[in-house]
Structure 1
Amino acid sequence: MIAEPHKLSVSEASAFFASGRLSSVQLVTACLAEIERTDGTIKAWAYLDPEGALAQAAECDRIRQAGMAIGPLHGIPVGLKDIIDTRDMPTQRGTPIFAGRETAHDARLVELLRGAGAVIMGKTVTTELAFVHANETRNPHNTDHSPGGSSSGSAAAVAAYHVPLAIGTQTNGSVIRPASFCGTFGFKPTRGVISRTGLLQTSISLDQVGVFARTLGDAALLTDVIGGYDGHDTLSFARPRPAMAAGAAADAPVSPDLAWFDIPFNDRLTADAREGLEAVVEILGPQVTRMTAADTLSNLVAVQGRIHEYEICQHQAEVFDAHWDRISETLKPVVARGRQITQTEYEDALAVKASAEAFFANFFVDYDAIIAPSATGEAPVFGTGTGDPIFCTLWTLAGLPCVSLPLLVGETGLPIGVQLIGPAEKDDRLLRTAAWVQTQLAEAAE
């Protein structure tokens, strides 16, 4: 038996499976034991199915022993944000309004996970309707702090060694920010890479799927598995996806050209985050070009908010109307504000969004990636919110691929991520650049 199998990466666990030194049942059992040991405090899981997970694992072991075909995630445990539909467990969307909600079908990405041999462990906690109001999950590094949101449980579950992989979503900063706070890798690929069919819709224009892992390669592999064209998703594009895992494993042929934007809201960075990022930029040296951002980039923050608030009021109108008394006091003013946005204002915001996409397509002709904060600093104290998403807003609006690397530690010992943003549909190049950055920093630390 391998010591502490729940701490293995996907590649390590898969190698042990192949050698016969570890079974999927043993791995899932170890993960369940760790959940039992710590989740009473961390509260990462909205729904856990131990018997179902062990049954899936046993079937994976049987298939392997029979010499049948296996998938890239064969026998690997995965957690799903509790807005992702599954046919065999409830999807409760972070609100008592949907307590016990069941569906007859899997989300498209769940079908792909099952086809790849993944073991679906259960549902991880999300904020209310995947928006602003926090739920009960705590940061595994210090339970007095938030894990971020809205993919709170997914980030916490990976950081706490409950599962090696988890899936979240991002409409503003809901993958990159919690990855930063919890010290995991967080990757949100180009908008349209991963199908959203079977997920709670809060913004048809902005909702995107992302992943959490403890290595860059694992995040890339999971994205490869769940990416693909889906004609039922209006933003899914009918062409091949970048090869994520190959990109993460590749060596950069030349040193990448990176950009750092001096944006007015950089003043929201805490001192330790600013110092850490400055040190990273200094190590990368001449590969980073510093530039002052145009005011129009800062103005995009309001554009994202207008689209998000308008669309959630449209998509969830029936929920808000029928269950207003069960909506949190945190969300109610957002809904009230969203209902004041006119159709003309909304359409104008969509036009600006399209302009932002065109701007970045042109910008990345000269640069491989933008380097930026993942969050303003360490995770906030629990009960004070899930953190400011400001350093994710622009890139999410433009649908760009983003990755948070767990590189820094704040003054109280909590993780702080460094974000890299790449050109649309060149996610493999972004991941290759991320691997290069990791190597450069590791060599500088030696």
Structure 2
Amino acid sequence: MCVPGPDRPSRTGAVTRWEGSTPMPQPRHETTALSALVARVAEGGLSAGEAVGGALERLDAAEPDIRAWVRVDRDGALGAARRLDTAPPGGPGGLLRGVPFGVKDIIDVRGLPTECGSPLRRGRVAASDAPLVARLRELGAIPLGKTVTTEFAYFAPGPTRNPHHLAHTPGGSSSGSAAAVAAGVVPLALGSQTAGSLTRPAAYCGVAGFVAPVGGPLDTTGFAGLSHSLDAVGLLTPTVADLRLAYLALTGADRRPGPPEPPARPRLAVWPGTELAEVADTMRAALKHTADRAVADGAALVDVDWAARTPRLAEAHATVMAYEAARALATEATQPERLSAPLNELLARGRATTAADYRHALSVAERARTETLALLGDVDAVLGPAAPGPAPEGLTATGSPVLSRPWQLLGLPALTVPGHRDGRGMPLGLQLIGHPDRLERLFSLGHALEEAIGATGPV
């Protein structure tokens, strides 16, 4: 039976219980949440049914407070687990056998509605899996259900709350996926990014996030698109090592990879982001701490004139996104009364954008991509804040995506590295931007930085 998420009891008492909580600790050992589950199932210490049953128990405990799930496919998930457990040797299942995962509700899962956080898509059942979901099934992973998205993956929030502090946003648009991983319900969730839809919630919720390069190798077919030039697949896991495991499995690995090789004397371009946003003192301190630690471990820092680069990219990104969204959602725009004010404003801007302005924005992106790939030929990654600060208080907005806009315009891979937190225990995520042809180097560097951050106290 496929059912909506658990009932929403009164918040009285629940908020009080969570508001003073500190972040759930991230594992700091070689066997992380996803890889530990993969190993236990592979070695016979845990059945697929037990893995899924445990996830459902954790979901039932967390969901009244977190509200991360739109729909939970209990019977479907348990049935898939039983089939794996009763299959003969050599039967179905692969590297991610028995891993329960969440799916952002703009991504098709056969037999489940893809509602995009909007009443305009209510009850639209997907006839087939998105290729990314189908690939995960081939690997033995089991979709637990659909996670909350903001309306059409834009700004209007759903009901999801930040697991670290219920009065704060989890970010968006991949809000439910990030919160489900942060709450420990699932070790893997699918999201997407068009502006800051994956990087920001990963940073706010204190989990690792990976934004795949635009255009491949992870396929966005079966995603409800917002901007075809900008839309990208996103993965969320507890740690960077888990991201690497998931990505390698999705792209063809047939066995568990060994630990990432530590990067030898990496070169980093440190980007403060202050030319685009007012960056919180705590985020600046987290960035400085990480850069200093990297230098102490042998990294070299490279100076870049960011003010001459990123503002024009953020502006061009906004132009491309509005123009393409207005065309992708042209049918929905005929019912403005059923859309949020922010989405109506985006679509109006897109309709008012001329084709000449759109083409100019694309040409800005093309020139800047060439320049930035040249930079990434000289440095291993750009290191900067993943968001201007910790998750803002309040649930009526999802925070600013501006620090992701330049990199998403260029279609580059982005890695959110968790570990830092402020004095209230709220996560402070950093991001690494890398070369699309050097993803193993990006994962290795992200893993090394995550390990270096370690059990750092509040900044």
- Contact 2:418–2:450 (8 Å) recurs in 1: no
CA pair 244-339 structure 1, distance change in 2 beyond 3 A = farther
Return the offset for 1:77.
0.3
Pair 1:437-2:437 in alignment: no
1:41-440 equivalence runs, <5 A: 41-63=65-87, 66-68=89-91, 70-191=93-214, 192-227=216-251, 249-252=259-262, 254-265=264-275, 268-285=278-295, 287-321=300-334, 323-440=335-452
Return the offset for 1:441.
3.8
- Contact 1:176–1:186 (8 Å) recurs in 2: yes
1:18-57 equivalence runs, <5 A: 18-57=42-81
Secondary structure of the residue that 1:259 maps to in structure 2? strand
Secondary structure of the residue that 2:190 maps to in structure 1? strand
Superimposed CA distance per residue, residues 121-174 of structure 1 (whole angstroms, 9 cap, x where no aligned partner): 110000000111111110011110110000000000000111110000000111
Residues matched between the structures, number? 423
Return the offset for 1:263.
4.7
Structure 1 residue runs of 5 or longer lacking an equivalent are 1-6, 229-241
Superimposed CA distance per residue, residues 380-420 of structure 1 (whole angstroms, 9 cap, x where no aligned partner): 11234111111111111111111111121013211111111
Instruction: For 1:55, give the aligned amino acid.
Output: G
CA pair 356-245 structure 1, distance change in 2 beyond 3 A = farther
Return the offset for 1:254.
1.7
- Contact 1:220–1:245 (8 Å) recurs in 2: no
> Percent same amino acid at aligned positions?
36
Instruction: For 1:62, give the aligned amino acid.
Output: T
Instruction: Give the structure-2-normalised TM-score.
Output: 0.88
* Structure 1 stretch displaced more, 430-439 or 209-218: 430-439
Instruction: For 2:374, give the aligned amino acid.
Output: N
* Structure 1 stretch displaced more, 265-274 or 78-87: 265-274
Comparing both structures, which one devotes a greater share of its residues to helix?
1
Q: Could you say what the CA RMSD is over the residues aligned between the two structures, in angstroms?
A: 2.2
Secondary structure of the residue that 2:143 maps to in structure 1? strand
- Contact 1:140–1:156 (8 Å) recurs in 2: yes
Superimposed CA distance per residue, residues 212-234 of structure 1 (whole angstroms, 9 cap, x where no aligned partner): 00122221222234448xxxxxx
- Contact 2:95–2:255 (8 Å) recurs in 1: no
Secondary structure of the residue that 1:390 maps to in structure 2? coil
Name the CA distance, whole Å, in 2 between partners of 1:177 and 1:395. Answer: 13
CA pair 245-392 structure 1, distance change in 2 beyond 3 A = farther
Name the CA distance, whole Å, in 2 between partners of 1:399 and 1:284. Answer: 26
Secondary structure of the residue that 2:271 maps to in structure 1? strand
- Contact 1:183–1:406 (8 Å) recurs in 2: yes
- Contact 1:244–1:431 (8 Å) recurs in 2: no
* Structure 1 stretch displaced more, 145-154 or 361-370: 361-370
Name the CA distance, whole Å, in 1 between partners of 2:433 and 2:273. Answer: 15
Secondary structure of the residue that 1:365 maps to in structure 2? helix
- Contact 1:107–1:197 (8 Å) recurs in 2: yes
- Contact 1:243–1:428 (8 Å) recurs in 2: no
Instruction: Give the structure-1-normalised TM-score.
Output: 0.90
Tell me the equivalent position of 1:16: 40
Name the CA distance, whole Å, in 2 between partners of 1:168 and 1:363. Answer: 28
Tell me the equivalent position of 2:6: none
